[in-house]
Structure 1
Amino acid sequence: MTKLLRSTSLRLALAYAALFVVSSILLIGLLWWTTAGYLERETDAVIAADVRAIGDRLKDFGVPGAIQTVNERVLADTDQKAIYLLTDPLLNPLAGNLDAWPLKIGRTPGWYEMDLVYENHLHATRLLHVVLPGDFQLIIGRDVQERIAMRALFLRGVVWAVVAAFLLAVVGGLMIRRVVLRRIETINRTAGAIMQGDLGRRVALQGGDDEFDHLALTINKMLDQIQQLVEGVRNVSNAVAHDLRTPLAELRARLEALLREKPAAERMLDEVGEAVADIDRLIGTFNALLRLAEVDSGLQRAGFTKVDLKPLMEDVAELYGPSAEAKGISLRQDIAADLQVDGDPYLLAQAVGNLLDNAVKYTPAGGTIALALKAGEDGYCRIGVSDSGPGIPEAERALVTRRFYRGDLSRSTSGAGLGLSLVEAVVRLHGGRLALTDNSPGLMAVISLPLPSMNSN
């Protein structure tokens, strides 16, 4: 029982039931005030008007006038619900439809509600006792038996309505609890499966586009990111073990050969230089991996600012211009102005630089590279780098962004296979997309980045 009471869903259900009952009581109370209360106020107003009229007749025409007015009103009472009694100072009846002065009233003026016998029947009445000039006593009232019966009926109805409202509220609250628990249990099962190692499990959507579906979408996106990071770590570990083992083994063999052969000083210096170059390549690979880890962690978002893409791309093109010119490659630029994105300028420059570096590296002499920037109609801007090189086979385009992956055409060139991986990570960090398509001939790499107006939505 204690565990059940600690349930948030049960507490919400009970709170819902209490709120439903309170609101029902308030609604019924308002209904009572506007009906029964209105009738009571009308009855009191009629009684008070009769008192003023009889008092005015007594003042203007004396006791005979007051007696005549009382008798006229008794005769005019067709529904026999009016009560009149005018007495002298000694409480002897002078006019009216009561035979004697009610003992429960005494001589104290004011409003009274009591059961009164008149017309040979016991009636619930509401009476007003006033003292007229000359110490004449006047009682005027109304038979409220029907109103009392209606009040009792109404109160019974209120009790049953509250009971029904409470039961309906409890049932409704339990239904809400059941729905909430079912959706939460779906999330719990998914989390449990992921804890058991099934990283591909996702929270099922109900298709209602409600808050739980929105929460499920957010959780699924988070799980996608976690799975990608975990698989990235696993792939990096495997790739590091596979791709760095060979160069380390070669470096060790080279140094071991130097120790064993003890060559001349000039050759030894050459071999040491080669070994240092190998070590620099290994350090470069580790630095690239660390850079990728920083990008994947998302910490770089803290440094996001408004980035004007035109000067950034012009600087990158200027950096790689001499390399392209040295190979006789034409580097064309078609860069639109006044395009800004939210991002890290250094990461964006490195991503575009990696694409240009690959284009220069694989484009043959006399080829062409095009660097373009334009705005799309879908709220994204496009950064395109196209070349006239050998391109990437369609079957490999989905693989080249994996870390350390190198296609058949790139095995003869230097590199660690991390350039496009970094580009893809930077683009993903900025909420964009990287697409690799055929340029016929060559490769076209297109980075799509959301413009600030889209980010704000």
Structure 2
Amino acid sequence: MTALGKLFRTTAFKLSFAYLVIFTIFAFVALAYVAWNAQRVLDDQFVSTIQAEISGLSEQYRVGGLRRLVNVVDRRSRTPGASLYLVTTEAGERVAGNIGALPPGVIDQPGQFETDYARTDETNATPGHAIVRVYLLPGGFRLVVGRDVEERARLRDAIQRAFGYSLILITVLGCAGGWFITKRVLKRVDDMTETTRVIMAGDLDGRLRIEGTGDELDRLAQNLNAMLDRIGELMKGIQEVSDNIAHDLKTPLTRLRNKADEALRTAKTPDELRAALDANIEESDNLIRIFNALLIIARLEAGNAREALSDFDASGVVADVAELYEALAEEAHTPLEVSIEEGLTVHGNRELLGQAVANLLDNALKYGAGANASIKVTASRQTDRVVIVVADRGPGIPEAERDRVLERFVRLENSRSSPGFGLGLSLVSAVARLHGGGLKLEDNAPGLRAVLTLPLKEHATS
């Protein structure tokens, strides 16, 4: 396809051409209205002038008779640029005036007409066109007064010429403007197309250029860049999951295989084989839990759980989870203090939020339980958000490590002796993002303060 053909097929050129056509139509209508209105004003002016002259001349006839009327008509007829005058007898014989001839029948009936005429001082000239009014005088005489409409024709011709020149100017400027705008838009679209080709070739770090004008192309580029950022995050997450599965799950799988091999080599009795099978089943259950947690996190980060979102009371969810963990807290001799504000309605997934709060409480009991320790669970409203806090008095997490522990399979050195896989906080963070909120880890001096924020229902975005 040629460059010119490509230009003509662009949406920008088609829109520019459509605007040009519409503007031309509006300009034509506006000029036509101006011409019609100007002609109407001129006609009204002609009629008013004719009526005023007839009134004056009829008064002259009433005061001074025919002689005086003839004298006045003769004097006015000789004035340059004068109106048209004619005084005739009842039989139509000319008495005075500058009208030499009228079409037959014009002076037979009183009234206003548009007609051709010839002046008395013109020979072999093209007949003029005028608006005339025929008036019957007492005594049977007829008075004809008119105005030539040549001015109206000249005005119409001038408007037609102006329209022709304007149409040419509009067309030239419109085409030039459309070409300029289309070339500019086409260049930006070509830049975007080239960038997308680079991205499709495997360079996921490529981004669309933003001009900073704030127009629709800039907004499109910003949204596409945000989409690419999200795709990059998901791709990174997939890569991390693959790496984590390859490294972190290698140890339990190896341990499972070694236990089975050891049972085959050393077990002598059915009880020993049963014990080995029980250990392998327990190890397999741990692996299944890991895979289930990874699948849930992957679904949350991909946004695939949005179809199950609904409005529910977060206060009840936190209260139910806290009630379930009260027995475990008593066994660990750790007081569990609960403070929950009522009526905290959010839009989300009830089960996932319950799982997230349970993970936070499980971590608090695992690392913050003790004789002199306590765990506090609060849920409250802060402006347009619901804030759920689980605080313990354990060793806490160093500030430099608080972002890192939200990643999959990350466990700090002082927690490797405790059971777990390093997926609990990752799941809580994914649930928070699904609900449009966030998870923040703070110092509880001593201990850890996990703050889960969610938007209230009237401020939630689905």
Scaled by the length of structure 2, the TM-score of the pair is: 0.86
8 Å CA contact 2:46, 2:131 repeated in 1? no
Among candidates 13, 33, 37, match of residue 36 of structure 2: 33
- Aligned pairs (5 A) from 1:286-435: 286-366=291-371, 367-377=373-383, 379-435=384-440
Percentage of pairs with the same residue = 36
- Is 1:5 matched up with 2:8? yes
Give, as a single letter, the amino acid of the residue that structure 2 aligns with 1:21.
T
Question: Residues 125 and 141 of structure 1 are in contact (CA less than 8 Å); yes or no, is this contact kept in structure 2?
Answer: no
Question: Given the superposition, is the C-alpha separation of residues 277 and 260 from structure 1 closer, same or farther in structure 2, using an over 3 Å criterion?
Answer: same
Aligned to 2:101: 101
Residue-by-residue CA offset, 1:57-105 (whole Å, 9 max, x unaligned): 89x97xx96785576466457663311223346643123222x214xx3
Q: Secondary structure at the match of 2:131?
A: strand
Q: Deviations over 1:365-399 (max 9, x none)?
A: 1222221222223x222111121112222222222
Query: Structure 1: 5+ residue runs without aligned partners?
Result: none
> How far is the alpha carbon of 1:276 from its aligned partner?
0.2
CA deviation string 1:253-306 (max 9, x = no partner) = 221222233422212111110000011011111111221232223232222222
1:189, CA displacement in angstroms? 3.5
Instruction: Give the aligned residue type for 2:437.
Output: G
1:48 is displaced (CA, Å) by 5.8
User: Which string of whole-angstrom CA distances, capped at 9 and with x for unpartnered residues, describes residues 157-203 of structure 1?
Assistant: 22222222223333333343244334433432432232122223333
For the residue of structure 2 that corresponds to 1:31, the secondary structure is helix
Give the drift of 1:315.
0.6
Provide closer, same or farther for how the CA distance between residues 83 and 237 of structure 1 changes in structure 2, counting only shifts above 3 A.
same
1:155 aligns with 2:156: no
Matches within 5 A, 1:112-123: 112=114, 116-117=118-119, 119-120=121-122
How many residue pairs were aligned?
450
Q: Using a 3 Å threshold, how does the CA distance of structure 1 residues 149 and 389 change in structure 2: closer, same or farther?
A: same
**Does the residue aligned with 2:389 lie in a helix, a strand or coil?**
strand
Return the offset for 1:413.
1.8
Q: Give yes or no for contact 1:115–1:125 (8 Å, CA) kept in 2.
A: yes
In structure 2, what is the equivalent of residue 436 of structure 1? Answer: 441
Is the CA contact (8 Å cut-off) linking 1:129 and 1:137 kept in structure 2? no
CA distance in 2, matches of 1:106, 1:456: 86
Tell me the residue number matched to 1:185: 190
- Gap runs ≥5 in structure 2: none
Q: Which residue identity lines up with residue 107 of structure 1 in the other structure?
A: G
SS at structure 2 position matched to 1:400: helix
1:126 corresponds in structure 2 to 130
Tell me, what secondary structure is at the counterpart of 1:382? Answer: strand
Distance 1:176 1:37 in 2: 42
Shifted more, 67-76 versus 261-270: the winner is 67-76
Change (3 A) 1:115 1:398: farther
Secondary structure of 1:348's counterpart equals: helix
Q: For 2:209, which of 204, 217, 233 is the aligned residue? A: 204
Change (3 A) 1:144 1:327: same
* Residues 113/199 of structure 1: CA separation in 2 closer, same or farther (3 Å cut): farther
8 Å contact 1:70–1:84 — kept in the other structure?
Answer: no
User: Which is worse superposed, 404-413 or 64-73?
Assistant: 64-73
**Residue 370 of structure 1 aligns to which amino acid in structure 2?**
K
Q: How large is the Cα RMSD of the aligned pairs?
A: 3.2
SS in 1 for 2:397: coil
Residue identity matched to 2:19? Y
Partner-residue secondary structure (3-state), 1:199: coil
What corresponds to 2:46 in structure 1?
Answer: 43
Residues 432 and 447 of structure 1 are in contact (CA less than 8 Å); yes or no, is this contact kept in structure 2?
A: yes
Cα gap change, 1:96 to 1:435, in 2 (>3 Å)? same
Q: Which moved more, 1:65-74 or 1:177-186?
A: 65-74
Paired residue type of 2:212 = G
Report the secondary structure of 2:460's partner residue: helix
Q: Which amino acid aligns with 1:87?
A: T
Provide TM-score, normalisation by structure 1. Answer: 0.87
Is the 2:392–2:444 contact (alpha carbons within 8 Å) kept by the matching residues of 1? Answer: yes
Are residues 337 and 204 of structure 1, via their aligned partners in 2, closer, same or farther at CA, if it must alter by over 3 Å?
farther
In the TM superposition, what whole-angstrom CA distance separates every residue of 1:393-451 from its partner, at most 9, and x where no partner exists?
A: 22222222222222222222222222111111111111112111222222211122122
Aligned-pair CA distance for 1:211: 3.3
Equivalent position amino acid for 1:395 in 2: A
Q: What SS does the aligned partner of 1:165 have?
A: helix
Distance 1:452 1:212, change over 3 A: farther
* Post-superposition offset of 1:135: 9.3
Q: Tell me which amino acid in the other structure corresponds to 2:455.
A: P
Q: Once structures 1 and 2 are overlaid, which stretch shifts more, 129-138 or 112-121?
A: 129-138
Using the alignment, how far apart are the partners of 1:409 and 1:239 within structure 2?
Answer: 20
Over 3 Å counting, the alpha-carbon distance change for 1:70 and 1:309 in structure 2 is farther
Distance 1:216 1:187 in 2: 8
Quote the Cα distance in structure 1 between the aligned partners of 2:73 and 2:171.
49
CA contact (8 A) 2:50 2:133 kept: no
Structure 2: how far apart are the matches of 1:318 and 1:21?
75
Query: Can you list the C-alpha shifts for 1:196-224, whole angstroms capped at 9, x where unaligned?
Result: 22223333333334433333332232222
Q: Is 2:172 the counterpart of 1:172?
A: no
**What's 2:87 paired with?**
86
From 263, 273, 282, the equivalent of 1:277 is 282
What secondary structure, in the 3-state scheme, does the structure 2 residue paired with 1:403 have? coil
